[in-house]
């Protein structure tokens, strides 16, 4: 599963660059990579007693295909770990070969030349999700493309819900309650001329008004 490339000098697929405070993250990432079949150079495991750290960094920069920079506030505030990622950036300043892969384990800024480089964000994720996202991103970086395995869902337009048509309750008007019929009868029995604000007041003679009220009452009963 490793990407050795054409150069015979490549001995490792990845060199891990990290701050001392982030060693647990570095070891976890190295374990995931080696379990997936990649060859990893990590100081925590490979800088054994008697080794020279400067030679370790130089060897990794020359013989590792890619460098993973584990970004955190501690890493960005330390100048001691910067030679590894600087060497990877100098070897591929435009990023076409994706020699430098920033992995953010904290929601931290990427200052300077690190800013434009697309990063792998693992902070705030559960272990299973972080492992899946990390290895998926690593494979995409090696291939240079992240095309999905399945066809994307057709992006249909949002459905516009049309207001429902008001259902008819019948050709006849709704039945009038008993209290309503009684009120109408009282109106019928009372002269409308004394109700200046009555809806039945039409300006017609009282006899005509009573006739109109009687007709309406009969229709509603």
CA distance 74 to 90: 23
pLDDT reported for residue 164: 72
pLDDT reported for residue 209: 52
pLDDT reported for residue 160: 62
pLDDT reported for residue 215: 55
Q: What are the 10-residue block averages of pLDDT along the chain, 221 residues in total?
A: 52 94 97 97 93 85 93 83 81 93 93 90 97 97 95 79 67 63 64 48 53 54 54
Domains annotated on the chain, with CATH: 12-143 (3.40.50.10140), 178-220 (no CATH)
Contact 1, 37 (CB under 8 A): yes
pLDDT reported for residue 211: 56
pLDDT reported for residue 81: 54
pLDDT reported for residue 189: 64
The radius of gyration of the chain from alpha carbons, rounded to an integer in Å, stands at: 41
pLDDT reported for residue 200: 46
């Amino acid at each position: 599963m490793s990407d050795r490339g054409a150069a015979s000098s490549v001995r490792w697929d990845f060199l891990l660059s990290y701050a001392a405070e982030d060693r647990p993250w570095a070891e976890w990432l190295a374990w995931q990579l080696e379990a997936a079949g990649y060859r990893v150079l990590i100081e925590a495991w490979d800088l054994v007693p008697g080794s020279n750290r400067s030679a370790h960094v130089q060897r990794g920069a020359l013989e590792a295909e890619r460098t993973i920079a584990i970004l955190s506030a501690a890493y960005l505030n330390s100048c001691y770990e910067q030679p590894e990622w600087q060497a990877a950036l100098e070897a591929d300043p435009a990023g076409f070969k994706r020699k430098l892969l920033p992995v953010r384990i904290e929601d931290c800024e990427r200052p300077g030349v690190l800013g434009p480089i697309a990063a792998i964000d693992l902070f705030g994720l559960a272990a299973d999700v972080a492992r899946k996202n990390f290895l998926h991103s690593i494979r995409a970086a090696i291939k240079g493309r992240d095309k999905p395995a399945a066809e994307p869902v057709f992006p249909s337009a949002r459905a516009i819900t049309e207001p429902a048509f008001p259902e008819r309750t019948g050709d006849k008007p709704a039945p009038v309650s008993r209290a309503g019929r009684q009120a109408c009868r009282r109106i019928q029995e009372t002269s409308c001329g004394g109700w200046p604000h009555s809806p039945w007041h039409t300006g017609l003679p009282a006899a005509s008004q009573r006739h109109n009220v009687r007709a309406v009452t009969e229709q509603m009963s």
